[in-house]
Amino acid sequence: MIRKSRILLIAIILFLFNTIVFSKLIFNSELKDISFDNAEIKRDSPNIQLASAPLNNYTMRDHSYTWIDATSGIRCNMDGTDDGYQLFGLPFPFIFYNFTYEYIYICTNGFASFEPSGSFSNQPLPRSNPELMIAPFWEDLMADNPCNIFVRNMSNRVVIEWNNYRTLGGTLIGTFQIILFQNGKILFNYQNIIAMTSATCGLNYGYDLKYYTVFDDLRIDAEYSVLFTPTSLSSSSGSGAATIISSELVKSSISAGIMIGITIIGLVVVNRRLRKTRLTREYEFS
């Protein structure tokens, strides 16, 4: 009887210990947005480990100019709105950094996101607010009356267009668009950019990492396109595209051709002023 009681007591202690370890891992872990759909739980008694599936990042390349007119699609109803956003359903499930979305918020300030935001104060990426952002030209902008933002749904893509768009002060910026493809690719198109401002361009997951970025005085040619392609986490360097990801300090030298782009779970920036330059930076998780 005493032996059975000891066995029962040991079992209770082990159960409580494992529960505490598991809870500590859950609440103290730096991993974010983990669900059972994209995570794996391993048990190695008496320890429990929680491991997330690899987070897809993106590479960026210049792309042949492929403009798709969206003015024949749906006109947003944000007439004369400053710092506004509108929710739109997507024609297909779209994967952004491993997570699937069936809707998107379109903002008057030159970006779209998967959480509601009307943020006008553009900053270097990554940012915690707004998170989950796709930003071809994030700046303090304003919609005309009638609204000059259009959405065109197609069978395997959706086009979001800011047409003859202006800053809050009334300066004409130009026309640009986002194209979301069903396979997860993202295309930024710039038909004509007339006035250059301190706009931010890139993708933002929102992870709190140290990083290098150029976001002020963006320079983009007319009839210019850049394509973002999702990829598994990797560390690489080269000319024309860049993906830099590591769980420890990385030293990377990147030869920039048409663009210079650095991604660390959330950023690629285009800056044509840095053409044919060479840059070396260090990156580490904060």
- Among 86-95, 127-136, 177-186, 261-270, which is the least confidently predicted range? 261-270
Domains of the chain by residue range:
2-52, 57-283
DSSP conformation class of 272? G
User: Global pTM?
Assistant: 0.64
Q: Which residues contact 247 (CB under 8 A, 6 or more apart)?
A: 285
Whether the per-residue pLDDT at 156 is higher than 60: the answer is yes
pLDDT of residue 260: 27
Most confident of 8-22, 128-142, 220-234: 128-142
pLDDT band at 17 (very low <50, low <70, confident <90, very high): very low
Residue 203, H or E segment: strand 200-204
Whether the per-residue pLDDT at 237 is higher than 50: the answer is no
CA distances from 174 to 13, 65, 137, 195 (A): 67, 16, 10, 7
Q: Which residues contact 13 (CB under 8 A, 6 or more apart)?
A: none
The amino acid sitting at 171 is T
pLDDT of residue 102: 96
pLDDT of residue 142: 93
Q: Bridge-partner residues for 142, per DSSP?
A: 82, 166
Whether the per-residue pLDDT at 207 is higher than 80: the answer is no
Please state, in angstroms and rounded to a whole number, the distance separating the CA atoms of residues 57 and 39. Answer: 17
What mean pLDDT do residues 162-166 have? 95
